[in-house]
Amino acid sequence: MVRESPWYIYEFKAYTKERWVGCKLVDVLAAEFKRRTRLYFVLAVASGSIQINGNSVTDEYVLKHGDLITHKTHRHEPPIPTDEIDILYEDSDVLVVDKPSGIPCHPNSSYNKHTLTEILKKKCGLSFVSAQNRLDKQTSGVVILAKSSKAAVKYHKKIEEKEGFKIYLCKVSGEFPECEVIVNLPLSISRKTCTTTVFQEDGVFQGKPSITIFRRVSVENGESILACGLVTGRTHQIRVHLQAIGYPIIDDMIYSTPYIRKEALINRINKIKENTSESKSTAEEINTENNNNPTVENKPHIECEITGSAYLEMAEAEGEPLTRESVEKFLTTEDCRTDDFQDDETYLETVSTENTSQFIMESCMHCRNPESLSTLPKFSTLSLHAWKYSLEENVFTTALPEWCTEEINDALCKEIEQTKNRLVSK
């Protein structure tokens, strides 16, 4: 079952960005919005459905500072799942919910009414709803939403200052090592592909500092459930860090190709174990004192931190240069698309531009591909779930996702939080 939205006329608005100034309007639109062809934008300008500062222009128009670009379209939003949005907590300032997979947090170029904020406005009778910790459309779990602009400023500041602590759950391909793995690798976002990568230039990794803590929860049928602690919160951080160390999330259609083999991480951990000669004897002494009843707390604590220098060694042994160009081959950017059909230039050439309203209706791609309006986009779900969010005295926890049947040990969560606090205090 999917939730469908009736079509409606919608006007997109955007002010000219610095990098667009001095460029032709049509060239910019064709480069930035690749879902439509250049011919479409030429015709849309001619029809008046695209205007500058409320006025019609020609396709030779050159953008200036402060120009307001408007674009009226016949809008169909992709369908979303019908899953219920469970409310975990509510007070006068915030609403905390368990977001299902397949629902975007906030309006974007493809979704408006079919977004978490707009659905909750209608469901709860609210005029203002703003997501403070945004999840990808495919990711499920805890989302904190402010119910006023004042509350939004308050909670945004708390989150920016890292007052909270988040634990995610995910399912990865392969038997993940049992020890604690810390990935401390900067992440860089590509404007061209809207994806995140790990890459180096002259031995220095580029991008913003990014740290994720991984602990194995369970293993079954060659797949592992992991608990993931975020020290930083970058775009696609968990997904890319797992891809980088050879354990991508099982159903990630974008970051599915590992940078290096799993054996590279296993070999690294084995070296650490060899150098930690006292671990076994210490653990045996503790177990004896505890009547030979080992628990998570008294297991030998093996920690593997993957920093830039360590990762360069691992990648070098694998023959992977980790340059910007080389890591792009690990991305499947076509799977970012919400559907498979393309603009039909042969058809567009038959559409009249004499009447704006008629052009808007007749140039609509979705009206010519109605099957896209009744089935979920191909990449709607992901085995990644924001399970627990601690913020000040509040702890928000969801039910476990259906793909995670193992209960999460409280001691394991405490160990992850302790590691996070130690890393933050460095």
| Active-site residue identified among 136, 251, 335, 344 | 136
Buried residues in 223-250 as b, exposed as e (16+ CB within 10 A): bbbbbbbbbbbbebbbbbbbbbbbbbbb
What residue type is 73 in one-letter code? T
Q: How far apart are CA 417 and CA 420, in angstroms?
A: 5
Neighbours of 334 (CB within 10 A): 9
DSSP string, 96-159: EEEEPTT--SS--SS-SSSSHHHHHHHHHT-S--EESS---TT-EEEEEEESSHHHHHHHHHHH
E strand or H helix at 11: strand 8-15
136 is catalytic: yes
For residue 398, give Cα distances in angstroms to 72, 132, 352.
40, 17, 52
Is-contact 78 113, C-beta < 8 A?
Answer: no
State the DSSP code for 425.
T
Burial 186-207 (b: 16+ CB within 10 A, else e): bbbbeeeeebbbbbbeeeebeb
Q: Which residues are identified as catalytic?
A: 136
